[in-house]
Every structure is written in C-alpha cells, then in structure tokens.
Copies of this chain bind each other. A is one copy, B any other.
C-alpha cells in the first residue's frame, strides 16, 4: 500500500517526528511524507507516532491501495531532489 502522511505537531516535537518518518518514508514537503509500506510497517509507524506525539498534535495517514494519483505542485517544490531514504 502507499501512504501520504501529514503531521501537525508542536514545534517541540517536530524534529523527532520528522526524523522518525524519514526512516520509513520519503519527504515531500515541510510536513508531508510519502511512501510504499507493508501493513506491518504501517502498524509500526502508527504505534511509534502515538508514542512520539502529545497534546493537541495530530497526524493524518492517508492509506491508498497503490501510488495512484497525480500530484500538482503549486509554487515551490520543497523537495526537488526527491530525498529518498
């Protein structure tokens, strides 16, 4: 499956969340990550994020059956090199 992850977390926890997501996904924009994952990996990502976030933090994970979308980028492409881990 393919996931798009968007986080909205307190600045105190941004670095931890960002660093963790980089180990599983590729970075698309400021607070957006994407990538192909297995069901087990998705479970692990969710479990770890639950431990990392706090307070009013929120993370959305869109789970798509496959990478089946067109991406329109308006303005700056924050990750033109496609930083893939």
Q: Mark A residues whose CB is within 8 Å of B.
A: 4, 6, 8-9, 28-32, 42, 46, 49-50, 53-65, 68-78
**In the complex this chain forms, how many copies of it are found?**
2
Q: Closest Cβ of chain B: how far from A49's Cβ, in Å?
A: 5
Whether B53 pairs with A75 at a CB distance below 8 angstroms is yes
Name 19 extra pairs, CB < 8 A, besides A8-B30, A54-B75: A4-B4, A6-B6, A8-B29, A8-B78, A28-B60, A30-B58, A50-B74, A50-B75, A53-B75, A55-B76, A57-B75, A58-B76, A58-B77, A60-B71, A60-B72, A61-B72, A62-B70, A64-B64, A64-B69
- From B32, B58, B75, B78, contact of A74 by CB (8 A): B58
